Amino acid sequence: MRKKSFLVLTFFLLSLSLFAQREADPRWVFRMSVTGTDMNRNLVPSTGKTMLKPAFSLGVSRNIEIIPKMLGVNVGLRYSPRGYWSQHKSKDSLGAQVSKDRNWLSLHYLDVPVDLVVQLGGERTKFFATAGGYFGIGVYGQQKLQFWNKDVVAGANGTFPTVDAKHTTRTDPFKDKLNRLDYGANFGVGFRRGYTVFGITYSQGLADLAVSGDPIRNRAVGLFLSYYFDDAF
């Protein structure tokens, strides 16, 4: 029994020694991503159509290693646009389009992401996975509503020309419709080559942003590119 315990302890200490001898990763991680952002489907009429809103985010994280180049935690600051856009069209009895309205909701956040990072594989190429959460605050928001209508009017000679009317309004959704505070979960998978990581990311908001009414939550999916660097700060 003592011999077995001694062997287990020796193996454990040897493993720690090997991990300690591994070259550590750089201390900082720059990350940028191209995503499509969306929100709850109940934000538009059932006859409408919601679409992913393109967004570009970027940020810097501190790389805190637990096991060098294998397991760590990233904590940082990230600029993250979110929101959605939708479009609704209506037609007359003959099938001609008579009206169209579009709704753009642009929300701009500063997030503090905290992600657990797992890397498996060889020295140069590794499988890369992250899971964690974020806490964000909305620093700017704009809701743009655009309504286009085609009216038929009586002409001078009995003709019926059409007149196009377009109306656009812009409001700040953070003033009375949405809460600024947001939090949620982050996930990502990809591959690392050297100091560069490329993969797919998904973010799901857990906070109800609505001041009143049905719950509203953010979500985003896209591609990310990360680069490890050192001695910049």
Phi–psi pair at 6, nearest 5 degrees: -65, -40
Residue by residue, pLDDT tens for the chain (233 residues) are 555 555 544 544 444 444 444 567 788 999 999 999 988 766 555 445 667 899 999 999 999 999 988 999 999 999 999 998 888 777 655 555 567 788 889 999 999 999 999 999 988 899 999 999 999 999 999 999 888 776 655 556 655 555 567 788 899 999 988 999 999 999 999 999 999 999 999 999 999 999 988 888 999 999 999 999 986 44
Cβ neighbours around 87 below 10 Å, total: 15
Q: What angle do CA 62, 54, 218 make, to 5 degrees?
A: 70
| 183 strand-pairing partners | 135
CA dist 168 and 182 (Å) reads 28
| 66 contacts: CB under 8 Å, gap ≥ 6 | 72, 73
CB-based contact 184:133 (threshold 8 Å): yes
pLDDT of residue 162: 59
Q: What is the largest CA-CA distance in the chain?
A: 109
pTM of the predicted protein model: 0.78
pLDDT of residue 76: 96
CATH fold of 26-229 reads Porin (2.40.160)
β 97-121/162-171 pair status: unpaired
CA dist 134 and 222 (Å) reads 17
CB-based contact 71:118 (threshold 8 Å): yes
pLDDT of residue 42: 61
Burial of 167: CB neighbours in 10 Å, binned 0-12, 13-18, 19+ = exposed
Domain chopping of the chain, boundaries: 26-229
Q: What is the 3-state secondary structure (H, E, C) of the chain?
A: CHHHHHHHHHHHHHHHHHHHHCCCCCCEEEEEEEEEEECCHHHCCCCCEEECEEEEEEEEEEEEEEECCCEEEEEEEEEEEEEEEEEEEEECCCCCEEEEEEEEEEEEEEEEEEEEEEEEECCCEEEEEEEEEEEEEEEEEEEEEEEEEEEECCCCCCCCCEEEEEEEEEECHHHHCECCEEEEEEEEEEEEECCEEEEEEEEEECCCCECCCCCCCCEEEEEEEEEEECCCC
pLDDT of residue 160: 56
